[in-house]
Structure 1
């Protein structure tokens, strides 16, 4: 499988195994946002608040999330946002996911236009046989 960091970010991509080791080798900073317990927009914003280590001044809305992701002062030039349990979230929260994807992909384009890189990576939990 090709390494995701060998190419420019392109939409929401699958996170590589040994993510942090691979990212370190490419000098990509990584932050994880756990979507497991997201039930609504507010809990989604709280997941980003925790995952991105934001302050309580974070606006808890789509514009604030876009601003945080595209701010060159708060994000390194090579940055990977890892969405944990993304596939389950996407199936559970169809409308919320559509809104989230729009913001993430707009942010990705904006960051690339500024000569920086934002990977949006979907990470799935290891297969749990109890789920089946």
Structure 2
């Protein structure tokens, strides 16, 4: 598998095996968001709050998520957001997933324009390789 950190971030990519070790070698900070228990937008926002280690002042909306992902004070210049159980989440919550993807990809473009890097990585079960 090609190492995603060798190239600029582009869309939602498959997380590499041994991701934390590889990310450390490329000086990429990593945070994981567990989507396993997401039922609706509220539980998604709580999963993001936990995964991104946000404070209770997080606005629990798409604009707030965009802001924390693109804020140079809140995120390192080289940052990877790993979406755990992403494929199942996509299948269970297609509309919610589409909204999340739109925000994540907008944040990725904005980060790139600001000279920063935001990888959005989907953690897949063993043996599945996929690119969105």
What TM-score results when the alignment is normalised by the length of structure 2?
A: 0.94
CA distance in 1, matches of 2:117, 2:17: 20
Q: Please name the residue that 1:12 is paired with.
A: 12
Question: 1: CA distance between counterparts of 2:91 and 2:122?
Answer: 13
How many pairs does the alignment contain? 127
| Equivalence map 1:28-47=2 (5 Å) | 28-47=28-47
Q: CA RMSD in A?
A: 0.9
CA deviation after TM superposition for structure 1 residue 2, in Å: 1.0
Match of 1:88 in 2: 88
- Distance in structure 1 (CA, Å) of the matches to 2:29 and 2:75: 9
CA distance in 1 between counterparts of 2:36 and 2:123 reads 11
Q: Matched residue of 2:73: which SS?
A: coil
> Which of structures 1 and 2 has the larger relative contact order (alpha carbons within 8 angstroms, sep 6+)?
2
1:2 counterpart residue number: 2
Could you list the per-position Cα deviations for residues 33-73 of structure 1 after superposition, in whole angstroms to 9, with x for gaps in the alignment? Answer: 00000000000000000000000000000000000000000
Aligned-partner Cα distance in 2 for 1:105–1:123: 17
Extract unaligned runs of 5+ from structure 1: 128-132
What's the offset of the Cα at 1:124? Answer: 2.1
Give 1:51-130 correspondences, 5 Å limit: 51-126=51-126
Q: Distance in 1 between matches of 2:53 and 2:67?
A: 14
Give, in angstroms, the shift of residue 75 of structure 1. 0.2
For structure 2, the residue ranges without an aligned partner over 5 or more in a row are 128-132
3-state SS, counterpart of residue 95 of structure 1: helix
User: CA–CA distance in 1 between the matches of 2:103 and 2:116?
Assistant: 17
- Does the residue aligned with 1:75 lie in a helix, a strand or coil? coil
